[in-house]
Structure 1
Amino acid sequence: MTIEVRVPTLGESVTEATVATWFKKPGDAVAVDEMLCELETDKVTVEVPSPAAGTLGEIVAAEGETVGVDALLATIAEGAGAAAAPAPAATAAPAAPAPAAGGADSVDVMVPTLGESVTEATVATWFKKVGDTVAQDEMLCELETDKVSVEVPAPAAGVLAEIVAPEGTTVDAAAKLAVISGSAAGVVAAPAAAPAPAAAPAASGAKDVENAPSAQKAMAAAGLSADQVTGTGRDGRVMKEDVQKALAAGITAAAPAQPAAAAPRAPVSADDTAREERVKMTRLRQTIARRLKDAQNTAAILTTYNEVDMTEVMALRKEYKDLFEKKHGVRLGFMSFFTKACIHALREVPEVNAEIDGTDIIYKNYVHMGVAAGTPQGLVVPVIRDADQMSFAEIEKAIGEKGKRARDGKLSMAEMQGGTFTISNGGVYGSLMSSPILNPPQSGILGMHKIQDRPMVINGEIKIRPMMYLALSYDHRIVDGKGAVTFLVRVKEALEDPRRLLMDL
């Protein structure tokens, strides 16, 4: 029996969509509600689940095609046809690399869904090597995309028979990463097949093969050249484990290695080169660099400054922090006060919460607050959606949870999209004053800084007060100076007298 897969209802006033990504290919087995493809409209991204279990037959609408509502996307074969179809597909994948590696027991490890508008990724790290036993859902490797890191779990238990995409390889959204063999033959064959690439380093030494980034870093740290390490990766690539084996074997840096590497950079001395380390930028860092430069090139960025006396906020926090934590199970920090103060100011100056779309201005009647977070991989901005509808406790919980996920590299694409305004806290690193850069397409970003005791004149008397510099960077194309200054003054007033937040003043 053949089941048709059709375009679902796309939403009010949306009549067509573009097929962005197919997660399955003809011949693949699919389960009920398993995601088949992703559609993009001018407003949202829609995932299309499988209406039945079976085998994906024909893909009618290929990636890039525009389809209307209820249009036919693909067909799914049920019953006997479905049971028979996976057999050729399953045996075909391992047949080319190693006929003895498992036959019908072999499972392909594919690139998982990368998220909206992400079409490729780079294989950053393999946690397993060929011949290792893996459990189902055990992490096999980590991929880096333009925005997030994605861990790839094992789809089944067995033995890692082949790594198709080694470290440093750029793969598309439907690529095969590896093959897992679950049969006894696979367990025996995988280690036996491993020496084959190792036997070819001499023959492939003259080839232009890109070594794994982790291996390049390890060789640079040890002062080794690629010629001194025997590569066991695909096509003779040097892997991190190969460098470790070379060091364990007592291989040391050869004298001519450094001058040879420094030859293309004549102005740099050999001594300086020996103390340098060249590491390829991660895709996340490349995207950060590109987006920030685009912001500078596109927006008319200005920054206005003010300072806030944190006495009242600190006193309020000190008085209620124990009760707050006891009731809500989360610590009361400063970020919830600043978030509330910004929401209060955005209501009065809505253009700071707007964005430019061509010749139109889009005013947002909601606040999706971006909270910049520094991670080992780079700066990310998780978004707290509908922050204007949240209480202090809900904001603190959301900030804590998003921050932890950011540091662990677990943020999804959706969690970093759609922000309308951003808060960046450089004060946690000791910054006294800075000019934050816009997070496009947003029109405003608030920079928080270090709280520092300073002498202030209060009612004609000099007193020591905990002061913080605030900086608002804004897009002057949409926000005038008056609006920017008014916004920052309202934030200052709300923090210096938190009762104004309660009274909505």
Structure 2
Amino acid sequence: MAIEIKAPTFPESVAEGSVATWHKQPGEAVTRDEILVEIETDKVVLEVPSPVDGVLESIAAAEGDTVTSEQVLALVKEGAVAAAPTPAEANAPAAATEEVELVGDLRVAPAARKLAAEKGLDLAKIAGSGKGGMITKEDVVKAASAPAAKPAAAPAAVQVTAAPGERIEKRVPMSRMRQTIAKRLVQAQQTAAMLTTYNEVDMKPVMELRKQYKDLFEKRHNGVRLGFMSFFVKAATEALKRFPDVNASIDGNDIVYHGYQDIGVAVSTDRGLMVPVLRDCDSMNLVDIEATIADFGKRGREGKIGIDDLQGGTFTITNGGVFGSLMSTPILNPPQTAILGMHKIQERPVAINGQVVIRPMMYLALSYDHRMIDGKDAVQFLVTIKELLEDPARILLDV
């Protein structure tokens, strides 16, 4: 009996997706819940598993094809068993049935090269079992499933190697997610009256507090680590309550004021920038925030952040400092009207009480939509965050 494998039901905000990768080919055996194909939407990558044990009979949508919700992707023959190779096929040299490519000094089957690229594996570290040491697809599968295998490298990192004097180019299609990111960023700049105000914060109080309690915090809360982001989220939450315009959004000619604080935290993943949302931050403590952010980071690396995690949000925080950025201008995340940019903590000489001292300082940047937020409110909002971080006891005391 043939079972139809269909694309997932996309949410209303997702019109269509693209077939990213087929993990099985026609004629190959599949098991129940084994991932057959990945569908890339403009928000996340969705995995489509097999509902039954059997054999993949046919594929109806090739890699790169655009598919809609509930569209048939393939047929799986339930209960069937993949045909075993004949003795002649089993004993035939790999080179007789499969082409060979040269990758440097390595002899590699095309399917093996493609799979290794998808898995982020170094071909030089894979032992070839084919004729003349050729690396086969089975060798790559074995290397990928080895316990010591490293996580897949970023598929977006395209390497172009050229010999001295050569001028080569490599053209690759832009992923659907990258297209959407590009479209939204351009749209934000074209439709909003975006301005950015800057300030700096002395991170010494937060750093000393973290240093004093981080080990006890981690031990007390089952391995949850105390970072800086939770302090920024709590400070931003308090500032948003004091300045509701910064927590609002624009919908056509209407202003939508939100009686809650849902803060998006920008996460860099192999597939691009994603902004999962912390819900009801006013009711979250530092432990809840750190645990949720750590979970977002883990699922982001694994490609398992869901569409629901990305929906909504009334404010966004992005941290370019983890990559070494000293100063930047963050771009709005529509329909939100403001975004906070964190940066690298850098020791600098500052004047305190008439004395020049060295302090760990961080530049903060608040980009905002001037259609909605006046400059005075934007500056005071950023000053509020600065004051709360430089005296973190105020966060806990709500003063």
TM-score higher than 0.5 here?
A: yes
Q: Which of 1 and 2 has greater Rg?
A: 1
Alpha carbons of structure 1 residues 359 and 183: separation in structure 2 relative to 1, 3 Å: closer
Q: Is the 8 A contact 1:405 1:411 kept in 2?
A: yes
Residues 337-348 of structure 1: matches in 2 within 5 Å?
Answer: 337-348=231-242
Alpha carbons of structure 1 residues 418 and 338: separation in structure 2 relative to 1, 3 Å: same
Q: C-alpha offsets along residues 305-354 of structure 1, whole Å, 9 cap, x if unaligned?
A: 00000010001111111221122221111011000111111111110000
Q: Quick one: percent identity of the two aligned structures?
A: 58
**What letter matches 2:78 in structure 1?**
G
Instruction: Tell me, yes or no, if structure 1 residue 355 matches structure 2 residue 249.
Output: yes
Aligned residue for 1:172? 68
Aligned match for 2:295, one of 393, 397, 401: 401
TM-score for both structures, normalised by structure 2 = 0.80
Q: Is the 8 A contact 1:423 1:447 kept in 2?
A: yes
CA distance in structure 1 between the aligned counterparts of 2:75 and 2:314, rounded to whole angstroms = 43
**What letter matches 1:127 in structure 2?**
H
* Deviation >3 Å, runs of 4+: none
Aligned-pair distance for 1:119?
A: 2.5
Aligned-pair distance for 1:360?
A: 1.6
CA distance in structure 2 between the aligned counterparts of 1:351 and 1:183, rounded to whole angstroms = 60
Q: C-alpha offsets along residues 75-110 of structure 1, whole Å, 9 cap, x if unaligned?
A: xxxxxxxxxxxxxxxxxxxxxxxxxxxxxx211111
CA distance in structure 1 between the aligned counterparts of 2:79 and 2:360, rounded to whole angstroms = 67
Residues 212-231 of structure 1: matches in 2 within 5 Å?
Answer: none
Aligned-pair distance for 1:504?
A: 2.1
**What letter matches 2:250 in structure 1?**
I
Q: Name the SS for the 2:238 alignment partner.
A: helix
Please tell me the root mean square deviation across aligned C-alpha atoms, in Å.
Answer: 3.1
CA distance in structure 1 between the aligned counterparts of 2:45 and 2:54, rounded to whole angstroms = 25
Q: Is the 8 A contact 2:267 2:273 kept in 1?
A: yes
Aligned match for 2:210, one of 311, 317, 321: 317
CA distance in structure 1 between the aligned counterparts of 2:374 and 2:354, rounded to whole angstroms = 34
Aligned-pair distance for 1:161?
A: 1.3
Residues 312-461 of structure 1: matches in 2 within 5 Å?
Answer: 312-329=205-222, 330-461=224-355
**What letter matches 1:134 in structure 2?**
V
Aligned residue for 1:77? none
Instruction: Tell me, yes or no, if structure 1 residue 114 matches structure 2 residue 10.
Output: yes
Alpha carbons of structure 1 residues 231 and 403: separation in structure 2 relative to 1, 3 Å: closer
CA distance in structure 2 between the aligned counterparts of 1:107 and 1:332, rounded to whole angstroms = 48
Q: Is the 8 A contact 1:114 1:150 kept in 2?
A: no
CA distance in structure 1 between the aligned counterparts of 2:166 and 2:383, rounded to whole angstroms = 50
**What letter matches 2:319 in structure 1?**
N
Q: C-alpha offsets along residues 349-390 of structure 1, whole Å, 9 cap, x if unaligned?
A: 110000111222111110001000100100000001101111
Aligned residue for 1:203? none
Q: Name the SS for the 1:352 alignment partner.
A: coil
Q: Is the 8 A contact 1:181 1:187 kept in 2?
A: no
Aligned residue for 2:38? 142
Aligned match for 1:303, one of 196, 200, 205: 196
Q: Name the SS for the 1:418 alignment partner.
A: coil
Aligned-pair distance for 1:428?
A: 0.4
Q: Is the 8 A contact 1:382 1:415 kept in 2?
A: yes
Aligned-pair distance for 1:222?
A: 6.5
Q: Is the 8 A contact 2:53 2:79 kept in 1?
A: no
CA distance in structure 2 between the aligned counterparts of 1:175 and 1:191, rounded to whole angstroms = 33
CA distance in structure 2 between the aligned counterparts of 1:358 and 1:113, rounded to whole angstroms = 29
**What letter matches 1:305 in structure 2?**
Y
Alpha carbons of structure 1 residues 191 and 115: separation in structure 2 relative to 1, 3 Å: farther
**What letter matches 1:180 in structure 2?**
V
Where in structure 1 are there 5+ consecutive unaligned residues? 1-104, 193-218, 224-229, 233-238, 251-270
Instruction: Tell me, yes or no, if structure 1 residue 124 matches structure 2 residue 17.
Output: no
Q: C-alpha offsets along residues 479-503 of structure 1, whole Å, 9 cap, x if unaligned?
A: 0000000000000000001122123
Instruction: Tell me, yes or no, if structure 1 residue 291 matches structure 2 residue 184.
Output: yes
Q: Name the SS for the 2:246 alignment partner.
A: helix
Q: C-alpha offsets along residues 392-415 of structure 1, whole Å, 9 cap, x if unaligned?
A: 111111111112112211111111
Aligned match for 2:171, one of 275, 278, 294: 278
Instruction: Tell me, yes or no, if structure 1 residue 491 matches structure 2 residue 359.
Output: no
Alpha carbons of structure 1 residues 146 and 290: separation in structure 2 relative to 1, 3 Å: same
Aligned match for 1:467, one of 340, 361, 364: 361
Q: Which has the higher contact order (CA 8 A, sep 6+)?
A: 2
**What letter matches 1:408 in structure 2?**
E
**What letter matches 1:425 in structure 2?**
N
Alpha carbons of structure 1 residues 458 and 272: separation in structure 2 relative to 1, 3 Å: same
Where in structure 2 are there 5+ consecutive unaligned residues? 87-100, 118-122, 124-129, 136-164
Structure 1, 479-488 or 410-419: larger mean CA deviation:
410-419
CA distance in structure 2 between the aligned counterparts of 1:460 and 1:442, rounded to whole angstroms = 40
**What letter matches 1:385 in structure 2?**
R
Q: Is the 8 A contact 1:382 1:406 kept in 2?
A: no
Residues 72-111 of structure 1: matches in 2 within 5 Å?
Answer: 105-111=1-7
TM-score for both structures, normalised by structure 1 = 0.63
